[in-house]
Amino acid sequence: MMAASGPAGEEPVIRIEGVAKSFGGVSAVANVSLDIARGEFFCLVGASGSGKTTLLRLIAGFETPDSGQILIDGVDMSDRPPYARPVNMMFQSYALFPHLTVADNVAFGLEEERRPRAEIRDRVAAALEIFDMGSFAARKPHQLSGGQRQRVALARALVKNPKILLLDEPLAALDKKLRERAQLELVALRERVGITFVMVTHDQEEAMSMASRIALMRDGALCQVGSPRELYDAPQSRFAADFFGVANLFGGRVTKAGAAVDCTEVWSTLAVAGDCAQGADVTVMVRPEQVALAKERPAGPNVLAGTLANVVFLGNAYVCYVALETGKTVQTRLSPADMARLGKLDAGDRVFVSWEPSAARVLTS
């Protein structure tokens, strides 16, 4: 059987087949099918209540699916409790045992495997060394900083050599500076250990910067699965377009198949290049960095007139908000060089926004 949504070729390390789970009649995960390939850094992303954490807990075995099944390395996990699955989880709260030292926390899983004492000692020491925590072996979790706890939690999960590491919002408890460094470290760690990482996050930027593939979830279902690039450049829905990055969205009806969309929101017909059937209700999406700003009306299609409402300086770019006469606001993102070329601009100035037909995407849902 070919993978429905994974890279072709090798057998996927995780295969989720038609899995559904509801709590007290409320559906948390609805008929999800997904393949995750060996060695991927896979991100489950979505708003809270989208079912991403439930899906992760289903893989870990903390929840049992109402229907469907989960296979790990081709083996059905339906009858396997959490303690018998070849996966380990890093919890959002880290869930370090407060009554045990750092070394005993890391040794816990190996002791459950009844490994020889000498082997446990060596593997614990090695795992702590990887995470630079060797000198903290005798400390208790409450004597560690947030970043140190996070590394102990990683060491504890990885020391068992799982096939898959599950990460539930692993960076949520860290402050912003530390989080950015930890993002890079996690990606490097995955390359180093070579196993599959499945991470849950609500932060789209985090998912984009870390994942090899992302599954965007909404209301318990998969909204779109793809590489960060695919999700950004080619979102398949209004929801996906809005979730990843900033998008200018114009609702309208196709008046010429694959070429023109009549948008009442902007009182004009937009030229597009993409798949769309005559008469279909669609959304036209343009990223702010694809939108040009001019003081004089430029030639070509897709030119909208408006007044400059606001300019926000971000350091490496300017974001300009242009209010159209219809009340709709269009965002454009310009480099400082482009901004300098435009000359002096003040709020209230009459300006024109425009974009190439090929820069716009037509979203059918």
Partner 1 sequence: MSMTAGAGRGLRRVILGTTTAWLIAFTLLPVLIVVAVSLSEPRLGAPPFTPLFEWGEGVWPIFNGTIASYFTVTSDSLYVAAFVSSLRIAASSAMITLVIAYPMAYAIARSSDRARFALLMLVILPFWTSFLIRTYAWTGLLNTNGLINNTLMNLGVISQPLTLLHTEFAVHLGIVYSYLPFMVLPIYAVLERMDWTLIEAAQDLGARPLKAFFRVTLPLSLPGVFAGWLLVFIPALGEFIIPDLLGGPDTLMLGRVLWTEFFNNRDWPLASALAVLLLVIVLLSALLLVKALRRREAVS
The contact set with partner 1 (CB under 8 A) reads: 60, 62, 81-84, 87-89, 91, 93, 95-99, 108-109, 112-113, 140, 142, 156-157, 160
Minimal distance, residue 289 CB to partner 1, in Å: 41
For partner 1, which is the closer residue by CB, 38 or 80? 80
Question: For the purposes of burial, counting CB atoms within 10 Å of the CB of 252, is it exposed (0-12), middle (13-18) or buried (19 or more)?
Answer: buried
Minimal distance, residue 89 CB to partner 1, in Å: 5
Task: Report how far residue 62's alpha carbon sits from residue 143's, in angstroms, rounded to the nearest whole number.
Answer: 29
Minimal distance, residue 59 CB to partner 1, in Å: 11
For partner 1, which is the closer residue by CB, 138 or 257? 138
Minimal distance, residue 346 CB to partner 1, in Å: 48
Q: How far is CA 239 from CA 213, 216, 225, in A?
A: 18, 10, 13
For partner 1, which is the closer residue by CB, 34 or 155? 155
Task: Report how far residue 117's alpha carbon sits from residue 161's, in angstroms, rounded to the nearest whole number.
Answer: 17
Task: Report how far residue 29's alpha carbon sits from residue 69's, in angstroms, rounded to the nearest whole number.
Answer: 13
Minimal distance, residue 19 CB to partner 1, in Å: 19
Strands of 95-168, DSSP E: 164-168
Question: For the purposes of burial, counting CB atoms within 10 Å of the CB of 30, is it exposed (0-12), middle (13-18) or buried (19 or more)?
Answer: middle
Minimal distance, residue 113 CB to partner 1, in Å: 6
Candidates 260, 245, 239, 247; CA nearest to 302 is 260
CB distance 350 to 296 below 8 Å: no
For partner 1, which is the closer residue by CB, 93 or 278? 93
Q: How far is CA 248 from CA 224, 281, 284, in A?
A: 19, 17, 8
For partner 1, which is the closer residue by CB, 62 or 313? 62
For partner 1, which is the closer residue by CB, 1 or 84? 84
Minimal distance, residue 63 CB to partner 1, in Å: 11
CB distance 44 to 197 below 8 Å: no
For partner 1, which is the closer residue by CB, 88 or 268? 88
